[in-house]
Amino acid sequence: MKKKIIAFFLAVLILFVESYYTFAATKVELTNQKSELDDKISSTKNQIDQVEENLSGAIKEVQDLASQIATYESAISELNNKIETVSNDITKSENDIAQKEKETNEKQELLNRRLIAIYESGNVSYLDMLLTSSDLSDFLSKYYLISEIAEYDTNLIISLKEAKEELEQAKIKLEEDKKSLENAKQEQVEKQDTLKKIKAEKDSKVASLNSEEKALQDELEQFERDKKKIEADLAEIAKQEEEALRKANGGVIPNLPPSACGYIFPIPGFSKANIATKTFPSYSGHTGVDININVRGKQVVAVKDGTVTKSEAMTGSIPNYGTDGNYVGSYRSFGEYIAINHHDGTMTYYCHLRAGSRMVSVGQEVKQGQVIGYVGNTGNCQPRPSPSNPYAGTHLHFEVHVLRNGSWPVVNPLGYLPG
């Protein structure tokens, strides 16, 4: 029995020694893995802090209502564009129908005159005309004339039939457009009523905030105003882009699935693994995805060829600091950001870039993979950078917008990103 116990402990000792050396052999690897996990945990906490650190329950409710307001305003804007488009289509259809009716009536009158002329000619037939020919030349001449007249009458009848069918289809389409217009107007009224109620509820909750919360709320509302200003500026671009896309694609605006857009990742060598929160929206009112794991000092590139439509610094009240901790300027909202129109029905935003790092200007053509700036933390970033921690809040806020009905609504960018 004693021998069995000794043998058992010897076996355990051997396993322990083997495990020890295995552990020693992989210690560096495990340490590296732990370091990576610590970084991810830290980045994830920062992401959570961005949402919750400075927001009380009351101000979160206000933000939820603000998000609903933004959604309804966007929907109403799309409906307004749809109403305008359908109204223009109806006007065009009515003009086309009037022209078609005029042409159809003229063809009908011509056919009626032809039938009357044939009737009034009595018993004189085409055969009589041929038999009364004076010679072969006269016969051939009359035969050719009769063939031309017969073909003309046949074509006239066919043309009249087709014109009536086209007119009928145009009228059906007109009625469909009118019904669509009425539905859009009704939906617009309903959404406007709901929007009015939500705004009243939001105003009531804002009134209950304390002074510190109101200051933060004012800052957040400034952010919303900035976004609306950007959207308004891009509305004109949307109209021009729709016209160009229709011209290039046979009257149709392409609706490419995300995987067909051919984007590369906006930070070279990185992937979705560098995104701490892979849900959309990651919190109420968040319109993009934050690439925030180990991105300090990294280049930002264009995900696809395109034209720069926005490249500006949104200055404001949030101080920003350089790598040496020195003050480099105050920002708000997106801070330093760039927007690129890819001319495939999509547009991308690159926000919170490092102070002074933008390398492209409005109107400039860029190529896929071209460096346009550097990852930073300008604008509304949490946690806020400070002289002691100038890198706080560093991340790239990336957005994708899709051209629809004269505007560029934001969509989930995750499906467009590789990796």
Q: Residue 400: what pLDDT?
A: 95
What pTM does this model have? Answer: 0.52
Q: What is the pLDDT of residue 302?
A: 98
With H, G, I as helix, E, B as strand and everything else as coil, classify residue 404: strand
Q: What pLDDT does residue 391 have? A: 92
Give every CB contact of residue 93 below 8 A, 6+ residues apart in sequence. Answer: 170, 173, 174, 177
Give per-10-residue mean pLDDT for the chain (419 aa). 36 39 40 41 42 58 76 79 81 79 73 64 53 58 57 68 76 81 83 84 76 69 71 72 80 81 95 91 85 95 96 89 87 93 94 95 96 94 88 95 84 92
Torsion sign (Cα): 82, 84, 89, 90: positive
CA pair distance 245, 106, nearest whole angstrom: 38
**pLDDT of res. 145:** 57
Rounded alpha-carbon distances, angstroms, from residue 408 to 89, 195, 222, 338, 386 = 22, 21, 20, 15, 35
Instruction: Report pLDDT for 150.
Output: 60
3-state secondary structure of 44: helix
Strand partners, 291: 396
List residues bridging with 347 in a β-sheet. Answer: 341, 401
Cα Rg of the chain (Å, integer)? 36
Q: How far is CA 226 from the centre of its chain?
A: 18
Residues 6 or more apart whose CB falls under 8 angstroms from that of 112 comprise: none
What is the C-alpha separation between 66 and 78, in angstroms, rounded? Answer: 18
To the nearest 10°, report the CA torsion of 377, 379, 381, 386.
70
